[in-house]
Structure 1
Amino acid sequence: MEVSPLCVILVKSDSKGDRLLFRYPFQNCENKEILNKSRRNPYTLPIVEDLLQSPTVSSSNISKGVLVGFSDEVLSSLFAVKPDLSNRKFELKVNDVRFVSHPTSLQLRNKQSHKDESGLMLINIVFSLSALASHSVVKCYHDLSERIGIILRHEEKRRGYVSEQTQTMMAAHDDGYTNNNGSAFRVILEKCTLANNIKKLYEDLCSSGLVSIRLNRWIPFSFCLPQKAHQWHLRGKIVEPEDIDRCLLALRPYHSLLLLYPVEHLVDFTALDGSPSLVRMLSQYSPMKNLQTLAADSDLTLSHVFQLTAHLVYWAKATVIFPVCSKNKYVIAPNASIHLNSPLMEKYSMSFKGGNLMRALNEFSLPTSLGQKTNPLCYPSQQSALVKSIIWMLQHHLLVQLHTYIQYMPTGNGLSTSRSFKKYLKTPSPRTSSVLSTSFPEPSRTESESGASTVSEAPDFMRNFNLENVSFTSTEDDKQEYQEELLLDFPDDERSQIFKIPATNTPEDLKLFARLCRKGYFQGSHHVEEIMYLENLRRSQLLQLLDKFRDVLVTYETEDPAIAMFSSSCS
């Protein structure tokens, strides 16, 4: 799907009538000759092999990515809308072209008085798109037209900028009216700054999707078309704004920020943004810091760091990863561009002084952790070079990180089908009667100190007990009774399988296992790093638990969906 505009059109309407002032790109003689090539002689008949079938007439108004087939007069009459339609969204579909704009009415002002007696002028900056453009693309272009209209209204009120520019354009059209080959538009480009802004706007939208212009050489204007801006680093993938919003909602304090450009290359971007907190955060930036640590080092709130991260991600200046550390496990991305003629080969050798990208990627043909590639006896410079190489490959989406997920499998067929805990509540033992009479809240949501972490609800048979504070004696009978009470809400066949595990003889391990199982962490939707953060556990503590209960816990490795959304390997 092509998201670049076909043409940008400027139309005005006032008491003197309506007129198309400027369009870019504009048609020249060669374009018109191509359009009229098939109709040079009005008396010729089309040659067809089958006279019973009428020839197909092409109704396309798109030729080589440019709008064709519309004269200036037709476009002027289409987009010089009535005042009732001003300051509202305007959308029109003609054949395979869709026109989107936001007509803006402004009060004219001359140099002698505050308000011109001629009244109002309607300015309409129209973007022509392919009719197949998605709703989100149309919405972005409408927003762009509306924002430009607001700036033009302000500049007209401040110094009569629009009146000055339109008079110059009208004079150019009047002088070159007899020579209808686009010469008036060339003159307008030489004399009008507004026309040059429209040209720069069109070129930025078609090239990178990042617009950076200065209207009237005074007001800085920036705009991001995410469907285009993210294509360069995701190799042609269309990223919708809704996808970015969904990804940013999945941000957690244990995630990290990965800039796609060096920090020193973002000076112009931070200057245009004008946010001192963004400069402060970038000064403390490191891909080995999580967002919580970055917020503390930058002396910013975590919520504000989330907002700045969202800003950088939306503008295709950064992506989201897990902090680079020795425990991370990486593997080559499924669709990594690693052929011999890839431009990344030369780019990698220039970044790492003759390094070979294929040799570096070969180290991650199988899932490999960073700690396995570092030698404690090697020099720190060698370790630093390896970390920089991994960061470079992450920036170019050549590697993906694998996380360990856990699935509770108590039986050979998965979870038990008889998950009714009510029968265990009918005749409670004397030891548990006082415990079961106490009400406990459902652990359906676990809030971190940032308030951004969410845990999915566990099944009903796992959400009704919280026996962590139960005390027990050292006798074997009491110990066995305590174990039964701790797993009282588990079905019989599952409890029998769990009691076969030697680790159930250790109360602390059994208590931790039951707690994590009831909270739904063993349903394959939470990876090890997330469980560590939400439950404040050490990695060694959790890995030991997985090893002790490996008979009923199955582990597998895959990408974090929240991070995979920012990579080109996601669907």
Structure 2
Amino acid sequence: MEVNPLNIFFVKSDSKGDRLLFRYPYTTENKDESKQKKYGRHNPYAINSTEDLLQNPQSQTSNICKGQLSGFTDEMLSTLFAVKAELCNRKFELKVNDVRFVGHPTLLPYRTNKDDTATMILINIVFALQASASHSVVKCYYDLSKRLGKALRHEEKRCSYLTEEMKIMLAAHDEVSVLDSEMNGDNDDDDDNLRHSVSSATYSSENGADSSPKSAFHLILQRSSLARSMKSVFEELSSTGIVQVRINKWVLLSFCLPHKAHQIHNRGLIIEPETIDKCLQKLRPYHGILLMVNPNELLASIPLDSSSALLRLIKLYSPLKSLQTLAIEADLTLKQVSQLTGHLVYWAKATVIYPLCESNVYVVAPGANVHINSPLVEEFAKEFPGLCLLQ
């Protein structure tokens, strides 16, 4: 089962219509093909082939090509994702062939001009997944889309962040559209030529020597902080499954996709959130925890406004101590310690064990990489000077 996202989309719909403002990753293949069809060679002696109307055309059964989403134009996607107001603030899920789109359409007020008049706008941050994704994976991506919508709602209310970012994106789309039309000889006026020189200079300065417009999304990624945040979300989901993004350098968005996060320590093993919940229900005071990361690194990664109880628990942590002992030393209730332990396990930062003691017998995991040239040998020597892992 594949848990990585195929694409992330950002769509808006208001009184001016709907539009796909940003997507990542983006490709220029479809754009180049359409250009070739439109501006390709026109041979007056060529014989136009006609379709056999009696034969049904072969329908497309897959929209995934080499791990990339294909077969959808930007206009088609914006039409699919710009839902009616009645469907806002609830789960959006759409399956097309082997692709499943998941999002949370959000309806919010935003300022249209300098006189602070507000109107309603629909935004939808949609993730494209493989249709075979499990229900729990889809639920996690829906939760992330909902959180992103809430963060944008907060920043729009605080400082009109969404309004400014949308202006940047729309300006980039218009600029590339003008460059496209001018480079194909659609406009020959002096005013257009002047505008072409200005636009080309702007684009060339941001894209190097190649002055041909690659994609509006490429330009948006350079200019928009929201687009860069969405790119970070996509890349962190694909790499570790743990997202730590600060929207507009203000709102911290923390998210964990446990199906992906636990693969860092157990490659190929997909753990469902329901499995973690069942495990935590059997947690007892005599159990202990084993951190999967360095405690100092874990403390450094925790936000400043995090729970002080969690910080005390990590500072007093030891694999030799039971949960009951940790609760007494950290001045916490056993219920608090169990909840914090569940949080660490969910985020793949810890696992539940029996506290280590000399009377227990331990064996090396069958799949452990302990050959002579293993990097674990060097790490073991650094952690325990004077000892060797292979002895």
**TM class by smaller structure:** 0.7 to 0.9
- State the distance in 2 between where 1:296 and 1:177 align: 66
What is the 5 A alignment of 1:240-319? 240-271=272-303, 274-319=306-351
Tell me the residue number matched to 2:88: 86
- State the distance in 2 between where 1:31 and 1:115 align: 37
8 A Cα contact 1:111 1:160, kept in partner: no
Tell me the residue number matched to 1:137: 137
Give the 3-state SS of the residue equivalent to 2:298 in structure 1: helix
Tell me the residue number matched to 2:210: none
Give the 3-state SS of the residue equivalent to 2:126 in structure 1: strand
Give the 3-state SS of the residue equivalent to 1:2 in structure 2: coil
Tell me the residue number matched to 1:15: 15
Give the 3-state SS of the residue equivalent to 1:252 in structure 2: coil
- State the distance in 2 between where 1:328 and 1:44 align: 81
- State the distance in 1 between where 2:20 and 2:326 align: 52
Tell me the residue number matched to 2:3: 3
Tell me the residue number matched to 1:424: none
After TM superposition, give the deviation of residue 27 of structure 1 in Å.
Answer: 1.1
Q: 1:44 to 1:58 in 2, by over 3 A?
A: farther
| TM-score with structure 1 setting the length | 0.57
Q: 1:177 to 1:31 in 2, by over 3 A?
A: closer
Matched, 1:199 2:231: yes
Tell me the residue number matched to 1:122: 122
8 A Cα contact 1:349 1:356, kept in partner: yes
Tell me the residue number matched to 1:237: 269
Larger Rg: 1
- State the distance in 2 between where 1:343 and 1:179 align: 52
Tell me the residue number matched to 1:65: 67
- Amino acid in structure 2 at the alignment position of 1:244: I
- State the distance in 1 between where 2:300 and 2:257 align: 18
Tell me the residue number matched to 2:165: 165
- Amino acid in structure 2 at the alignment position of 1:215: I
After TM superposition, give the deviation of residue 277 of structure 1 in Å.
Answer: 0.7
After TM superposition, give the deviation of residue 32 of structure 1 in Å.
Answer: 5.4
- State the distance in 2 between where 1:31 and 1:112 align: 36
Q: Cα RMSD (Å) of the superposition?
A: 2.9
- State the distance in 2 between where 1:21 and 1:272 align: 33
Give the 3-state SS of the residue equivalent to 2:254 in structure 1: strand
- Amino acid in structure 2 at the alignment position of 1:106: L
| TM-score with structure 2 setting the length | 0.82
- State the distance in 1 between where 2:309 and 2:127 align: 35
Q: 1:287 to 1:171 in 2, by over 3 A?
A: same
What is the 5 A alignment of 1:413-424? none
1:245-274: CA deviation from partner (whole Å, max 9, x where unpaired)? 111111110000111112110123322561
1:60-105: CA deviation from partner (whole Å, max 9, x where unpaired)? 2222322122111111111111111111101011111000000000
1:406-425: CA deviation from partner (whole Å, max 9, x where unpaired)? xxxxxxxxxxxxxxxxxxxx
Q: 1:244 to 1:298 in 2, by over 3 A?
A: same
Q: 1:248 to 1:166 in 2, by over 3 A?
A: same
- State the distance in 2 between where 1:31 and 1:341 align: 49
Q: 1:285 to 1:92 in 2, by over 3 A?
A: same
1:217 aligned to which of 246, 249, 252: 249
Give the 3-state SS of the residue equivalent to 1:108 in structure 2: strand
8 A Cα contact 1:111 1:159, kept in partner: no
- State the distance in 2 between where 1:89 and 1:3 align: 19
Q: 1:242 to 1:101 in 2, by over 3 A?
A: same
After TM superposition, give the deviation of residue 319 of structure 1 in Å.
Answer: 0.8
Tell me the residue number matched to 2:195: none
Give the 3-state SS of the residue equivalent to 1:154 in structure 2: helix
- Amino acid in structure 2 at the alignment position of 1:158: R
- State the distance in 1 between where 2:31 and 2:328 align: 60
Q: 1:132 to 1:159 in 2, by over 3 A?
A: same
Give the 3-state SS of the residue equivalent to 1:235 in structure 2: coil
Q: 1:86 to 1:56 in 2, by over 3 A?
A: closer
- Amino acid in structure 1 at the alignment position of 2:324: Q
Matched, 1:150 2:150: yes
8 A Cα contact 1:99 1:126, kept in partner: yes
- State the distance in 2 between where 1:64 and 1:348 align: 40
- State the distance in 2 between where 1:342 and 1:95 align: 44
What is the 5 A alignment of 1:329-348? 329-339=361-371, 342-348=374-380
Q: 1:56 to 1:331 in 2, by over 3 A?
A: farther
8 A Cα contact 1:255 1:321, kept in partner: yes
8 A Cα contact 1:3 1:137, kept in partner: yes
After TM superposition, give the deviation of residue 160 of structure 1 in Å.
Answer: 1.2
State the 4+ residue runs in structure 1 displaced beyond 6 angstroms: 40-45, 54-57
Give the 3-state SS of the residue equivalent to 1:92 in structure 2: strand
- State the distance in 1 between where 2:30 and 2:15 align: 35
Identity of aligned residues (%): 55
Q: 1:257 to 1:114 in 2, by over 3 A?
A: farther
- Amino acid in structure 2 at the alignment position of 1:8: I
Q: 1:30 to 1:101 in 2, by over 3 A?
A: closer
- State the distance in 2 between where 1:210 and 1:182 align: 31
8 A Cα contact 2:299 2:314, kept in partner: no
- State the distance in 1 between where 2:94 and 2:362 align: 49
Tell me the residue number matched to 1:493: none
1:482-509: CA deviation from partner (whole Å, max 9, x where unpaired)? xxxxxxxxxxxxxxxxxxxxxxxxxxxx
- State the distance in 2 between where 1:272 and 1:132 align: 38
- State the distance in 2 between where 1:326 and 1:43 align: 86
- State the distance in 1 between where 2:65 and 2:227 align: 23
8 A Cα contact 1:107 1:115, kept in partner: no
- State the distance in 1 between where 2:127 and 2:281 align: 31
Tell me the residue number matched to 2:199: none
Q: 1:18 to 1:78 in 2, by over 3 A?
A: same
After TM superposition, give the deviation of residue 353 of structure 1 in Å.
Answer: 4.7
After TM superposition, give the deviation of residue 334 of structure 1 in Å.
Answer: 3.9
Q: 1:301 to 1:199 in 2, by over 3 A?
A: same
- State the distance in 1 between where 2:335 and 2:383 align: 35
8 A Cα contact 1:97 1:131, kept in partner: yes
Larger RCO, structures 1/2 (Cα 8 Å, 6+ apart): 2
Give the 3-state SS of the residue equivalent to 1:238 in structure 2: coil
8 A Cα contact 1:110 1:160, kept in partner: no
